[in-house]
């Protein structure tokens, strides 16, 4: 047991804790961002009229994946599309959206998955400036299949009825 604890276990720990420094730095960046949320909110309220057309313009120029993430940010989506998210954050920095510079720097250093909280916060603030999404009446695939089956299924007639009508 001594060899296992002295030689093998430390190697496993080292293998699985490679990103611990990165996670700690990302947590620190998230903490500093959380402290500055109030000032960011105030800046957004002050510049609301200036920012709206710029935000809508940058939003329209992005890909569908990023548009979906801006409307409904999810951590899994941020990790999956981290390059596109980083590009959109850089566009927000160009239009001087409050708080986007710090989030963009943290995201480029640590990845969008590690700083998901600040990225989500910025995306929620951006979504306030966007016009309401017009939803078309589209039936989900599962409901369409169910409706198709209901149309195909005909009620069974009793055997006695079939025999009488065949003669």
Q: How many domains does one find in the chain?
A: 1
CA dist., res. 30 & res. 57, Å (int): 28
Asked if residue 161 belongs to a domain, the reply is: no
Range of the domain at 106: 3-132
**Which of 74-78, 123-127, 132-136, 149-153 is predicted most confidently?**
123-127
- Is 166 a residue whose pLDDT tops 80? no
> In this predicted structure, which of 32-36, 126-130, 145-149 has the lowest mean pLDDT?
145-149
- Residue 139 domain-assigned? no
Asked if the structure places residue 94 within a domain, the reply is yes
Q: Is residue 92 part of a domain?
A: yes
Domain presence at residue 47:
yes
Identify whether 75 is part of a domain.
yes
Residue 143 counted as domain residue:
no
In a domain, 166, yes or no: no
Token readout for 51 is 């920012």
Q: What number is the average pLDDT over the span 79-92?
A: 87
* pLDDT for 160: 60
For residue 10, the model assigns a pLDDT of 84
Which has more pLDDT, 3 or 164? 3
Instruction: Give CA separation, 57 vs 17, 18, 52, 122, in Å.
Output: 42, 40, 9, 16
d(CA 103, CA 116): 9
Strand boundaries in 36-111, DSSP class E: none
């Amino acid at each position: 047991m001594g060899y296992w604890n002295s030689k093998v276990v430390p190697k496993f720990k080292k293998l699985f804790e490679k990103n611990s420094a990165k996670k700690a730095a990302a947590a620190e960046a998230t903490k500093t961002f959380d402290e500055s949320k109030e000032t960011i909110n105030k800046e957004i309220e002050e510049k609301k009229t200036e920012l709206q057309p710029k935000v809508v313009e940058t939003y329209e120029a992005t890909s569908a994946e990023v548009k979906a993430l801006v409307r409904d940010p999810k951590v899994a989506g941020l990790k999956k599309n981290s390059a596109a998210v980083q590009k959109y954050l850089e566009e927000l920095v160009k239009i001087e959206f409050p708080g986007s510079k710090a989030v963009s720097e943290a995201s480029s250093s640590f990845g969008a998955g590690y700083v998901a909280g600040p990225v989500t916060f910025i995306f929620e603030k951006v979504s306030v400036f966007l016009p309401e999404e017009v939803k078309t009446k589209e039936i989900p695939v599962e409901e369409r299949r169910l409706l198709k089956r209901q149309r195909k299924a005909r009620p069974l007639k009793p055997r006695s009825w079939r025999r009488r009508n065949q003669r």
